[in-house]
């Protein structure tokens, strides 16, 4: 089976810092099914050289022209075919308009690059990836599946909304990694879009020795950028309100704008004996560190998805979570979490008190954590698309 991945975000030699998600995903697909051959089209936005005088960040745009001039990149895994298009990315209407005009050239591009015999296309964004897949489907009949991010801005003007509806409706299958995008599409009547998280690092699922030591305290942990949206101020206030707070230990890993303020708050609330700030920690170390704790807490005001909850679950930590996250609808019925109201300190305090007074409940919830974590495994993610590729062919 020949699969054509269309992704405007894909690292190449002259831009190695691009997000490697699609590259990693494609490698994992091939590792699971060696009969699949994958080619990549990378739509590359550019401005004509005569317009360079008027653009900011000229060096970045000049580098894009360099990428376009090469036309093809090869590494040990894939051939990456560069498809140039003019983009006004910050203006949704103009971006979708230019993407549409350039989509008229995609079939001749496919034939020139000998990619017109693909069995299935996987587009990774609405524009330009999705509009290119849509144009190929119309002209050559090649089916496509569509993965969306948080791209609701394209539904705010009539023209891009019209095109977006066409792209989504004609796709064989549509998924999104964004909880907010999923909600937005449901409100527009797209009820078959699947909320599907990408896989967390596979090291979280490796069998390791149980390193947790016995303690008469409940050990809470948070791992995040220290931003207002993570709502850790409320966690400190909730702990402060507990009568039995000395039966808790709370470790916060991460850095960010609120670090100084959170440390000052912990001191003002006389929590210095309870709260520890562990600083930044590489993600690769988390599989060995998280099992030292009992419960993961992150009552965010909002999360696009929240893979950190699944990383904690993979380490057998039940999670304290809010319904404003992409993780919540996927785990809410699995008995591995406590839901709190991010705007209510007393809601968080109530759950913390329940955990302190009922350690058996923590142990009971921990039994299902690994099962829940596999929702966000690469195995689950890749199997979904392998099934769709073969069914759509």
Per-domain boundaries in the chain: 2-199+379-392, 204-374
Please state the φ and ψ torsions of residue 182, each to the nearest 5 degrees.
-60, -45
The strand pairing partners of 74, in sequence order, are 79
Torsion over CA: 298, 302, 308, 309 (sign): positive
> Would you identify the CATH topology of the domain 204-374?
Rossmann fold (3.40.50)
> Taking Cα atoms as reference points, which of 93, 172, 88 lies closest to residue 130?
172
d(CA 392, CA 319): 37
Q: Which CATH number fits domain 2-199+379-392: 3.30.300.130, 3.40.50.2000, 1.10.1760.20, 3.10.110.10?
A: 3.40.50.2000
Q: Are 106 and 136 in contact (CB under 8 A)?
A: yes
Do 2-199+379-392 and 204-374 fold alike per CATH? yes
What is the radius of gyration, based on Cα positions, of the chain? 24
Q: Which of 161, 167, 180 is nearest to 103 (CA)?
A: 167
338: left (phi over 0), alpha (psi -120 to 50) or beta: beta
| 128: preceding bond cis by omega (within 30 degrees) | yes
**Low-confidence residues in the chain, pLDDT < 70:** 49-56, 89-90, 207-214
Predicted TM-score (pTM) of the model is: 0.88
pLDDT of 65 reads: 86
pLDDT of residue 47: 76
Q: pLDDT (tens digit, 9 = 90+) per residue, 191-227? A: 999 999 999 999 999 865 555 666 789 999 999 999 9
pLDDT at 75: 84
Reported as a single tens digit per residue, the pLDDT across 264-323 is 999 999 999 999 999 999 999 999 999 999 999 999 999 878 899 999 999 999 999 999
């Amino acid at each position: 089976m020949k699969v054509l991945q269309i992704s405007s975000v894909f690292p190449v030699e002259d831009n190695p810092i691009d997000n490697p998600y699609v590259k990693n995903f494609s490698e994992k697909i091939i590792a699971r099914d060696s009969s699949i051959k994958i080619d990549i089209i990378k739509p590359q936005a550019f401005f004509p050289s005569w317009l360079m005088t008027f653009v900011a960040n000229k060096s970045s745009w000049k580098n894009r022209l360099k990428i376009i001039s090469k036309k093809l990149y090869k590494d040990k895994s894939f051939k990456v075919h560069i498809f140039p298009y003019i983009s006004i990315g910050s203006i949704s209407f103009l971006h979708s308009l230019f993407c549409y005009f350039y989509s008229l050239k995609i079939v001749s591009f496919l034939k020139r690059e000998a990619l017109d015999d693909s069995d299935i296309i996987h587009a990774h964004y609405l524009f330009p990836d999705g509009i290119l897949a849509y144009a190929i489907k119309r002209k050559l009949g090649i089916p496509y599946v569509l993965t969306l991010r948080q791209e609701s801005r394209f539904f705010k003007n009539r023209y891009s909304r019209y095109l977006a509806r066409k792209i989504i409706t004609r796709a064989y299958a549509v998924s999104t990694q964004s909880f907010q995008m999923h909600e937005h599409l449901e409100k527009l009547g797209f009820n078959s879009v699947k909320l599907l998280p990408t896989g967390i690092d596979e090291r979280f699922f490796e069998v390791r020795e149980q390193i947790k030591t016995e303690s008469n305290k409940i050990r809470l942990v948070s791992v995040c950028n220290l931003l207002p949206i993570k709502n850790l101020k409320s966690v400190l206030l909730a702990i402060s309100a507990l009568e039995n707070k000395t039966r808790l230990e709370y470790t916060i890993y991460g850095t960010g704008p609120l670090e100084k303020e959170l440390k000052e708050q912990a001191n003002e609330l006389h929590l210095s004996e309870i709260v520890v700030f562990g600083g930044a920690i590489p993600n690769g170390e988390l599989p060995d560190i998280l099992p030292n704790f009992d419960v993961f807490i992150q009552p965010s005001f909002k999360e696009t998805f929240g893979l950190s909850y699944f990383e904690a679950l993979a380490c057998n930590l039940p999670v304290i979570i809010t319904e404003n996250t992409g993780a919540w609808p996927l785990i809410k019925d699995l008995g591995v979490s406590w839901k709190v109201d991010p705007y209510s300190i007393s809601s968080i305090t109530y759950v913390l008190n329940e955990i302190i007074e009922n350690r058996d409940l923590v142990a009971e919830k921990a039994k299902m954590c690994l099962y829940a974590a596999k929702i966000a495994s690469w195995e689950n993610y890749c199997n979904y698309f392998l099934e769709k590729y073969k069914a759509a062919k």
